[in-house]
Every structure is written in structure tokens, then in C-alpha cells.
Amino acid sequence: MREINESYPYALHSPFLYPATKAEAERRVLAANAPDFETISIRPRLVWGPGDQTILPVVKQMVAKGRFLWMDGGRAQTSTAHIANLVHGVELALTKGSGGQAYFVTDDEVTTFREFLTALLKT
């Protein structure tokens, strides 16, 4: 999905349980918003930064074992969210956001997986 905002509707059907259950959980959290119980949902994309224990170690291990392969030559586009930007986004949502709303948090740029992972591996 590209160039969408928080008003983009949920998918009506998904063949995969993870996005389906994630969407249902978000719907329930946002529906629980009330004057005495404020709820929000944060939607970060591909979180990275210091102390990462998910993306970088796995990619490094795959490269070291000769098991890494670029899908589509690494041309697929993605957005990312550096941990500092995610923290800032959460702070903004908590202080300036509205209850019952969802907020995307990204680095505000689109990159290819090749560009992103190549730069990440250089760190």
C-alpha cells in the first residue's frame, strides 16, 4: 500500500491470520475509547535503530550463511521508522492526538529494501 493515510479502510478479507487479528485488535482498542478511558493505536513501519534485536541480526546471519537473497532484486519499496522517530510519534499522539484514532509513524520517506538493508548493514 502506498500513499495512504489513517482513513484508509481495513481489508475486508485476509488469507493470513496475523494481519486479520491485528486489524481486529485495533478495531476493538479504538472502539473502547471513552471520556474516562482514552485509547489510541500506533502503526509504526519496520522499526530500526540502536539495540535492534530483530532485523539486523537476522539479515547478518543470513548473509554470513549464504542464505540471503534479494526478492525482486531489492526493488520493492518500503517505509521505515527509526526508533527515535517512533518515540517522537508516540509522544505526539499522546499529547496532540485524539482518542479513538490510529496514527502511522514512519521516517517520512520511501526507500527500496536494497537501499535500506544495505545502509543498515553498514551500521
Closest to 116 (Cα-Cα) out of 91, 82, 86: 82
The question of whether 18 is a catalytic residue gets the answer yes
The DSSP H or E segment spanning 112 is: strand 110-112
Catalytic residue selected from 8, 10, 18, 103: 18
Distance CA 59, CA 71 (A): 13
- Catalytic residue numbers? 18
